[in-house]
Amino acid sequence: MSLRTRVIACLDVKHGRVVKGVNFINLTDEGDPVELAARYAEEGVDEIVYLDIAASPDGKPALLDVVQRTARNVFVPLTVGGGVRAPDDMRAVLRAGADKVSLNTAAVRHPDLIDECAAEFGTQCVVLAVDAKRTSGGSWNVFITGGRHNTGLDAMAWIEEGVSRGAGEILLTSMDRDGTNIGFDLDLLRAVTRSVNVPVIASGGAGGPGHFVEAVRSGASAVLAASIFHRREVEIGEVKLMMERAGIPVRHV
């Protein structure tokens, strides 16, 4: 065997609760993050991602308390994003119990943040989260503040810059596909995985186990989903079984 392809559960957290919307709006309450994370760990999830979606617009720090409770109860890797604007914020999140920190809006506004965090904590700790949306011209633009603002930045150019500044991993969300359950944006995934040599996490659009297989075949090192796992529309074990049948190495619990 070899390095297993990761199946990641993403929990969008707002004011201590898990929420999920379609195309970044219409948020619904989906439960307690620590309880959900513990359930996923038991079901064999390979990593948990918390995105504190209240942090960026409201200017609040990440949910350190939720991170700490998770680290005490759930012994799988934990990536946390939302509201990290300085290396000191990142230190606080790591000390609370995160393994990796994802940067999004703050990195677009101050790209040096990527260099600073990588220098202090290592590139393996710094995840660049990119929310990308197709343009009419066949490319993708970067959106920030939870998908509210179009930066006009070209996603490929920004991702390449982020990696050269020290991002060790890309969390790539297709805003066009997010919450739609029609499958990942494979064109986007292929374009990004061809242009950078760090792991890319595919996010946005998974609706069934077959979608995860397609994403891995399009270059993803890890595949992520949220609401379909929260609502048990798709089980983590089912995804792994399908991947295994397709010849993709996975981890079983």
Partner 1 sequence: MSLPLIGVIDHGAGNLVSITQGLERAGARVRTVTEPGGLGGIEGVVLPGVGVPGMAMARLLDSGLASSLARWESPLLGICVGLQLFFESSDEDRKPCLGVDAGIVRRLQDAPLLPHIGWNDLDYPVKRGRRDPIFSGIKPQAPFYFVHSYAPVPRDRSIVIAYARYRSRFVAAIRSGSRIGVQFHPERSGTAGLRLLSNFVSETGRFHARRQAGETSS
Q: Which residues are catalytic?
A: 12, 131
Residue number, 72 or 109, with CB nearest to partner 1: 72
**Residue from 49, 107, 189, 222 that binds partner 1 (CB under 8 A)?**
222
Q: Is 164 in the site for partner 1 (CB under 8 A)?
A: no
Q: How far is the CB of 76 from partner 1 (least distance, A)?
A: 6
Residues in the interface with partner 1 (CB under 8 A) total 40
Q: The tokens of 66 are what?
A: 């939720």
Judged by CB under 8 A, which of 16, 21, 61, 77 binds partner 1?
77
Q: Decide: is 43 part of the binding site for partner 1 (CB under 8 A).
A: no
DSSP secondary structure code for residue 124 in this structure:
G
CB of 217 to partner 1, least distance (A): 15
Pick out residues in 168-197 that bind partner 1 (CB under 8 A): 168-169, 197
Residue 216 CA, distance from chain mean position: 15
Write out the H or E segment, with its range, that includes residue 202. strand 200-203
Q: Would you count residue 160 as binding partner 1 (CB under 8 A)?
A: no
Decide if residue 72 touches partner 1 (CB under 8 A).
yes
Site string for partner 1, 80-99 (x = CB under 8 A): -----------x--xxxxxx
Does residue number 76 form part of the binding site for partner 1 (CB under 8 A)?
Answer: yes
CA pair distance 226, 145, nearest whole angstrom: 19
Q: Is 214 in the site for partner 1 (CB under 8 A)?
A: no
Contact pick of 100, 177, 211, 240 for partner 1 (by CB under 8 A): 100
Query: Rule CB under 8 A: is residue 11 a binding residue for partner 1?
Result: no
Residue 46 in the binding site for partner 1 (CB under 8 A) = yes
CA distances from 151 to 146, 161, 162, 245 (A): 12, 15, 15, 41
Q: Which residues face 31 on adjacent strands? A: 18
Closer by beta carbon to partner 1, 175 or else 201: 201
Are the CB atoms for 155 and 141 separated by under 8 Å?
yes
8 Cβ contact list (under 8 Å, min separation 6): 45, 46, 47, 48, 49, 201, 222, 223, 224, 225
**8 A C-beta contact, residue 221 and residue 6:** yes
115 touching partner 1, by CB under 8 A: no
Nearest to 148 by CA among 131, 172, 127: 131
* Closest by Cα among 112, 116, 148 to 133: 148
Closest by alpha carbon to 108, among 146, 136, 61, 52? 146
Please state the closest distance from residue 30 (CB atom) to partner 1, in A: 24
Nearer to partner 1, 146 or 168 (CB): 168
How far lies 173's CA from each of 11, 16, 67, 243, 246, in Å? Answer: 14, 22, 22, 21, 24
User: What does the binding site for partner 1 look like in residue numbers (CB under 8 A)?
Assistant: 1-6, 41, 46, 68, 71-73, 75-78, 91, 94-100, 119-125, 168-169, 197-199, 221-222, 251, 253
